[in-house]
Structure 1
Amino acid sequence: MRKKLKETRIKKNIEVKEIARKLKISESYYYKIEQGKRNPTITLAKDIADLLGSTVDEIFFDDNLDETSKETA
Structure 2
Amino acid sequence: MNNTIREIIKNKNLKTIEVIRKVGVAKSYFYDVMNGASIPSLQIARRISDELEVPLDELFPEETFETRN
If the TM-score is normalised by the length of the shorter chain, which range does it land in? 0.7 to 0.9
1 or 2, which has the higher helix percentage?
1
CA RMSD of aligned residues (A): 1.2
Structure 1: which 4+ aligned runs deviate by more than 4 Å?
none
Count matched residues.
62
Which amino acid letter does the alignment assign opposite residue 42 of structure 2? I
Q: Comparing both chains, which one has the higher relative contact order based on Cα–Cα distances under 8 Å and sequence gaps of 6 or more?
A: 1
Q: Distance in 2 between matches of 1:26 and 1:13?
A: 21
**TM-score, normalised via structure 2 length:** 0.80
Q: Distance in 2 between matches of 1:49 and 1:59?
A: 7
Offset at residue 33 of structure 1 (A): 0.4
> Within 5 Å, which residues of 2 pair with 1:5-16?
5-16=5-16
Per-residue Cα deviation, 1:22-44 (whole angstroms, up to 9, x for no partner): 11111111111000001111011
Q: Distance in 2 between matches of 1:29 and 1:23?
A: 11
* 1:54 equivalent in structure 2: 54
Q: Distance in 2 between matches of 1:49 and 1:30?
A: 13
**TM-score, normalised via structure 1 length:** 0.76
**Which SS does the other structure have where 2:17 is aligned?**
helix
* 2:17 equivalent in structure 1: 17
Q: Distance in 1 between matches of 2:18 and 2:40?
A: 17
Over the matched positions of the two proteins, sequence identity in percent amounts to 31
